[in-house]
Amino acid sequence: MIIVMKQVARDEEVLKVEERLTEMGFAPHRIQGTERVVIGAVGAQKIILPTGLEVLPGVEKVVPITAPYKLVSRQAKDTDSIVRVGDVEIGGNEIVFMAGPCAVESEEQLLTIAGMVKASGAQILRGGAFKPRSSPYSFQGLELEGLKMLDLARQETGLKIVTEVLNPQEVELVASYADILQIGARNMQNFALLREAGRSGKPILLKRGLAATFEEWLMAAEYILNENNFQVMLCERGIRTFETSTRNTLDISAIPQAKELSHLPVIVDPCHASGNWRLAAPLSKAAIAAGADGLMIEVHNKPSEALSDGPQSLTPENFDRLIEMVAPIADAVNRTIPQAEIKNSK
Amino acid sequence: MIIVMKQVARDEEVLKVEERLTEMGFAPHRIQGTERVVIGAVGAQKIILPTGLEVLPGVEKVVPITAPYKLVSRQAKDTDSIVRVGDVEIGGNEIVFMAGPCAVESEEQLLTIAGMVKASGAQILRGGAFKPRSSPYSFQGLELEGLKMLDLARQETGLKIVTEVLNPQEVELVASYADILQIGARNMQNFALLREAGRSGKPILLKRGLAATFEEWLMAAEYILNENNFQVMLCERGIRTFETSTRNTLDISAIPQAKELSHLPVIVDPCHASGNWRLAAPLSKAAIAAGADGLMIEVHNKPSEALSDGPQSLTPENFDRLIEMVAPIADAVNRTIPQAEIKNSK
Amino acid sequence: MIIVMKQVARDEEVLKVEERLTEMGFAPHRIQGTERVVIGAVGAQKIILPTGLEVLPGVEKVVPITAPYKLVSRQAKDTDSIVRVGDVEIGGNEIVFMAGPCAVESEEQLLTIAGMVKASGAQILRGGAFKPRSSPYSFQGLELEGLKMLDLARQETGLKIVTEVLNPQEVELVASYADILQIGARNMQNFALLREAGRSGKPILLKRGLAATFEEWLMAAEYILNENNFQVMLCERGIRTFETSTRNTLDISAIPQAKELSHLPVIVDPCHASGNWRLAAPLSKAAIAAGADGLMIEVHNKPSEALSDGPQSLTPENFDRLIEMVAPIADAVNRTIPQAEIKNSK
Amino acid sequence: MIIVMKQVARDEEVLKVEERLTEMGFAPHRIQGTERVVIGAVGAQKIILPTGLEVLPGVEKVVPITAPYKLVSRQAKDTDSIVRVGDVEIGGNEIVFMAGPCAVESEEQLLTIAGMVKASGAQILRGGAFKPRSSPYSFQGLELEGLKMLDLARQETGLKIVTEVLNPQEVELVASYADILQIGARNMQNFALLREAGRSGKPILLKRGLAATFEEWLMAAEYILNENNFQVMLCERGIRTFETSTRNTLDISAIPQAKELSHLPVIVDPCHASGNWRLAAPLSKAAIAAGADGLMIEVHNKPSEALSDGPQSLTPENFDRLIEMVAPIADAVNRTIPQAEIKNSK
């Protein structure tokens, strides 16, 4: 930590800051510049406290040196983490496809889509039973009935299940049906939910908040790891910017940054990022080229009748083509695609 | 709702859209333009459903006509709503001051600050017992002990209490100690929390999310009113933009917009908006000039020792001065300030 | 300047950075932390050079200490600057109103509006002769004819003239007709234009760019002052954010910040900031309450026939009311309004 | 164009709007909804005028139907445009690499780098002779001397030259040395410059402004095409968002969108987008995977001594590796890389 004093700071103000640092367990190192004093504070802190130094007289700013995340960082673990869900490995060499409808709407709808995405190569079925909706008048999901349909789809197809949990009170229930708990973008800083989900011991897919900085996203993951749950996947799904031609702006740079600064796997959701199914394929190719470990894709057999997010859902045929288009990119970055051999032999 | 067809749309595609609209209970009105067809869909909908029209072949875009909020709108109620908390009226002629520390830290700290903000004219004491923090290693609040201290401060000073609730499971507990439940910016779209807080019947202070559009903010309020709780205050606390010289950007335009489109009272939090106590007074003056009904101000007797948000906290002396500076502005817009007469007679 | 070394930096890498600093005329001060080395670089620089230190092996980041602006800063001049345009003072005690149409459209239009805003109390007439338009097919202004009409309006009303200049080649021409040269938001970093406008010796109204940080805005002003032209007014006109309910987001905090960090006068343009004439009055009140020295307001006698920006233009009657509403706010912050006495005696 | 009337609009207000539309040459089509009236305006407009309809009494909003760009759109030309610079084709099957230093610093520097990027496979040399800098105290470029060095580098290496022009007055000069004129991000809406550059007849590389919407970017290109110059390349170089971990946010979605809605080639500049040379390779791979036609890369032989933008410059060795990493991606999307055969045969 560096404390930059004002040009007009008096000597006793500098002394007061040094005193405060010493009280807090730091060793202060004063640098007398030509225009002002700067103080370096040396010392390792286990717990980051507000230092209060910013409001001491004469202090201009406090510059932190150390990143606030610990357990999620490459410093803590320098090999890539692999999240294991049964026989599916996320963060390994094989690209993972999570596909399915935005919302579980009926048994027939879910089983139909599940069968089709399975055939295309998806390893994991996505589908919301509890839906966070901007309007209280929108469809809120089938809740428990939806969870049971997901369970049935797993039994019939062997696909693993990822589904969102919205409320700390429902973590136990959702965890009893799901293989992976999804924390949605709106809940990225719902800390009670992060803790409860962390404690469930289940793998967690953590979506980045619409306006969350890269650092806040890693800190949200830190909440889960701090509950001794290391099975966390980061999911980039677009951030909110001034640009309105897409629903959100996919932050493609977040992928290589996350891979450089953290050991956690990175999943990309091009459908929410763009809000436009036609952009799903090019964004998927870009994501894999940039180093993503998997993709989350909305697939609906009748997008025009979907109860939510139809415009960003692919038909099963388009999903199939998406995988075909992603395959050579995966190959170009030395990653594999599920069942690629079988498909090639068709 | 207006459906804009593509220039290349074929006649059967237009017919298909009209058919779909009829199925959904709308009367379609086709407008044959020189370059393309546009279809107006007539019919009142109680519940807003995804129409799925965007994904029909030939459709370019769907333009909604009606605002999605109902109960919070001026159409639903054309007189200003007044939230009553005992003898304090929020949204009436008198400007309301909510002041106190970011976090409840100790009985002595809270009672000292409470006494001082009371003397300055505040009607409501703010203070966090449950704190949402970006880092799991930061101070998370005194929880139940903090609530008890707030209760004690109320008894000693007669101030009303506003405090944040983070978790649907804790609504009942917090509601048993607080006069007003605060929903924080990070939880603005925590719909389970909105519903549970709504059901408590307590007045709710709803902070705008960092990246929430004006419309999303009103829709979050709609969730609470939809639980038959009309005691809702909107709180503008800055939005996240590219500008980093302030912590957030106070969206001053949101005040007159909220007053025009909604009947709910509007509170402004200049401390979180700017992250800088020196900007609190000018932003408070601006907020009242623009039509805000009240201010939420962080006050700490020892900002440099505060366990959170010290840099944006005012000393009690500065808070006193802030009220003095706001008073003539309030007068200029024909609003009153609490105890202004008594203070003037000092 | 502080150089933060990586945790893994080797000793020779630290030495290399120190060597480089010494070559550049700095005295390096090494601080050996528990986890890493931090180097403070002491020495005053007249000219800010890229240091290249960020790319030396082992360097994590370089943290600048000193603000890059010099001449515009309070350090350079601690009293408020007053821009004088004939007998009009901008930045003094009296609030300045710049009013008129977005574009000069005809002699009749301009003279009608000029007469009316003069009667309402405006001291300065605004009106565009050269218009920057997003589309090449939109009306681009009357150019020289427009300048002549502005000149005529000055003669008839005694109002001072502010008008935009778009091209360095046209500075001389525009300066021969205008009292104040306006640099538009799109040209805030058109450095050739800034230099040429600076050299004209004319007072300059410098609009903030849509995505310009506060610091970049001051640096743009620095370009003008660096041409030995100190007659500069900063104009906040809204920044571009994710919020779409207003055309831009008025950064109200920029006003007190500019007054704290710079000595230059600050003008606010609520019409461009909001894109909505109904918000002009509340935003004007807020701007004056926050410390602005003047307002720039679009006024058109027939907004529905305006060749540009009709929706954000006030009628002369509404402009008159705006001044009446701003007057008590000005009074509350101990500022005066032009001709207030005459109007009160009406 | 669709005109949405207010719920409270009176019949004479609706009639007035229809009358106005008729005057403007539109045929109005009234749709009587259950809650309000909506009017469809039919008629093709050559020139987009402000309609002024928004400010008529009773009008709530006006919704444009037709995109404002004409010449740049796929409707105007449905085959991909290829920009030809001597024997180099941009927008064809071969990926184009534009590489070189941010600023031309000396003959030796430029010739060294030119030789190295040529050897790596670049077809075009980039290098700034006129530099737009936030600070008037920063290095502003070698100007004419720099242009002459670029000319020399072309003669020695056969590379084509792209360099920025800042001022309409300098277009002729720069055009006499450059093969491609670059319009920088800060000048994207410097319309005088766009027109003058357009008239030069030279190929133009048009960088997207930091806060320019996708539509504004295409409209800026429209200015150039409107001067009868169709040799335009769009260059995505990152937009300004709240995220600060990268210098800007690369809008990867802009690539497939530009390819869908326009016929112009798209170049991506990952160095300015990220401000971090370590991200250049993954972002380059993503850009090509998403459909970009070329890359613009900052290369400096001694980044730590660069006079600008060192931290985002690659060494020639890293540039060589970047091309090697991009090659298999290009192959995966059926594009070729320059001299790939020669390099493979090494």
CA distance C318 to C313: 9
The count of residues in chain B is 346
- Chain D interface, mutation test: which of B21, B39, B63, B65, most D Cβ atoms within 10 Å? B65
Which of C211, C241, C329 is closest, CB to CB, to B332? C329
D130 located within any domain: yes
D76 located within any domain: no
- What is the per-residue pLDDT for C169? 96
Contact residues on chain B for D44, CB-CB shorter than 8 A: 34-35
CA distance C168 to C191: 9
Instruction: Show which residues on chain D lie within 8 Å of chain A, measured between beta carbons.
Output: 211, 213-215, 239, 241-246, 249-253, 255-257, 260, 273-274, 278-279, 282-283, 285-291, 328-329, 331-333
- Joined tokens for residue A240: 């909110």
pLDDT tens track for B56-93? 778 887 777 778 889 999 989 989 999 999 999 999 99
Query: D135 and D30 in one domain?
Result: no
Whether B49 sits inside 8 A of A307 (CB atoms) is yes
Query: C122 and C56 in one domain?
Result: no
Query: Average pLDDT for residues A158-174, to the nearest whole number?
Result: 97
* Minimum distance, in Å, between the CA of residue C325 and any CA atom of chain B: 8
Tell me: pLDDT of D23 over 50: yes
Whether A38 sits inside 8 A of C40 (CB atoms) is yes
Residue of B nearest to D34 (CA): B43
- Which element (helix H / strand E) includes C177? helix C171-177
8 A C-beta contact, residue B65 and residue B247: no
D230 located within any domain: yes
Whether D279 sits inside 8 A of A286 (CB atoms) is no
- What is the per-residue pLDDT for A344? 42
Tell me: pLDDT of B340 over 70: no
D74 located within any domain: no
Window from A50-54, A269-273, B252-256, D284-288 with minimum mean pLDDT: A50-54
Query: D317 and D213 in one domain?
Result: yes
CA end-to-end span of chain B: 60
Report the CATH number at residue A39: 3.30.70.1140
* Minimum distance, in Å, between the CA of residue A28 and any CA atom of chain C: 9
* Minimum distance, in Å, between the CA of residue B109 and any CA atom of chain C: 30
Tell me: pLDDT of A153 over 60: yes
A327 located within any domain: yes
Query: B7 and B108 in one domain?
Result: no
Query: Average pLDDT for residues B279-296, to the nearest whole number?
Result: 98
- What is the per-residue pLDDT for B104? 96
Query: B279 and B130 in one domain?
Result: yes
Comparing C303 with B156, the larger pLDDT belongs to: B156
Most confident of B140-154, B328-342, D127-141: B140-154
D307: pLDDT confidence band, cut at 50, 70 and 90? confident
Mean pLDDT of the residues in chain D: 91
Query: A139 and A98 in one domain?
Result: yes
C69 located within any domain: no
Quick count: other Cβ atoms within 10 Å of Cβ D216?
A: 20
Tell me: pLDDT of A51 over 90: no
D79: pLDDT confidence band, cut at 50, 70 and 90? very high
pLDDT tens track for B96-133? 999 999 999 999 999 999 999 999 999 999 999 999 99
Query: A200 and A99 in one domain?
Result: yes
Inter-chain contacts counted by CB atoms under 8 A, chains A and B: 135
Contacts of B251 (CB under 8 A, 6+ apart): B208, B236, B238, B239, C241, C243, C249
- Joined tokens for residue C146: 């427009």
Query: B194 and B244 in one domain?
Result: yes
Tell me: pLDDT of A243 over 90: yes
Window from A105-119, C238-252, D18-32, D124-138 with minimum mean pLDDT: D18-32
A12: three-class secondary structure by DSSP: helix
Task: Out of C12, C29, C63, pick the residue that ends a domain.
Answer: C63
C47 located within any domain: yes
Q: State how far the alpha carbon of D315 is from the alpha carbons of D160, D249, D278, D281, in Å.
A: 20, 23, 11, 12
Mean pLDDT of the residues in chain B: 91
Query: D159 and D252 in one domain?
Result: yes
Which range marks the domain in which residue A12 is found? 2-63
CA end-to-end span of chain D: 60
Report the CATH number at residue B179: 3.20.20.70
Query: D196 and D150 in one domain?
Result: yes
Whether B2 sits inside 8 A of D7 (CB atoms) is no
pLDDT tens track for B34-49? 778 888 888 755 445 5
Tell me: pLDDT of D250 over 50: yes
Contacts of D98 (CB under 8 A, 6+ apart): D122, D123, D124, D125, D126, D162, D205, D267, D294, D295, D296, D297
Tell me: pLDDT of D190 over 70: yes
CA distance B140 to B153: 21
Query: B103 and B25 in one domain?
Result: no
Residue of D nearest to B4 (CA): D65
- Chain D interface, mutation test: which of C304, C305, C307, most D Cβ atoms within 10 Å? C304
The residue type of B314 is L
- What is the per-residue pLDDT for C346? 40
Query: B132 and B52 in one domain?
Result: no
* Minimum distance, in Å, between the CA of residue A63 and any CA atom of chain C: 8
Contact residues on chain D for C187, CB-CB shorter than 8 A: 190
Task: Out of A11, A30, A63, pick the residue that ends a domain.
Answer: A63
8 A C-beta contact, residue B73 and residue B64: no
Q: What is the pLDDT along chain C (346 residues), one digit of tens a residue?
A: 788 888 888 899 899 888 888 888 888 888 887 778 888 887 755 445 566 777 777 888 777 777 888 899 998 999 999 999 999 999 999 999 999 999 999 999 999 999 999 999 999 999 999 999 988 988 899 999 999 999 999 999 999 999 999 999 999 999 999 999 999 999 999 999 999 999 999 999 999 999 999 999 999 999 999 999 999 999 999 999 999 999 999 999 999 999 999 999 999 999 999 999 999 999 999 999 999 999 999 999 988 777 777 788 999 999 999 999 999 999 999 999 986 444 443 4
Q: State how far the alpha carbon of B297 is from the alpha carbons of B88, B102, B111, in Å.
A: 17, 9, 16
Mean pLDDT of the residues in chain A: 91
Whether B4 sits inside 8 A of D65 (CB atoms) is yes
Which ranges of chain A does DSSP label H, i.e. alpha helix? Answer: 11-23, 107-120, 144-157, 171-177, 191-199, 214-225, 254-261, 270-274, 280-289, 316-332, 340-345
Whether D31 sits inside 8 A of B40 (CB atoms) is yes
* Minimum distance, in Å, between the CA of residue A130 and any CA atom of chain C: 27
Contact residues on chain C for B255, CB-CB shorter than 8 A: 282, 286
* Neighbouring chains to C with at least 3 Cβ pairs closer than 8 Å: A, B, D
- How is chain B split among helix, strand and coil, in percent rounded to 5? 40, 20, 40
Looking at the structure of chain B, the number of domains it has is 2
B69 located within any domain: no
8 A C-beta contact, residue A242 and residue C247: no
Contact residues on chain D for C139, CB-CB shorter than 8 A: 49-50
- Joined tokens for residue D151: 């000319």
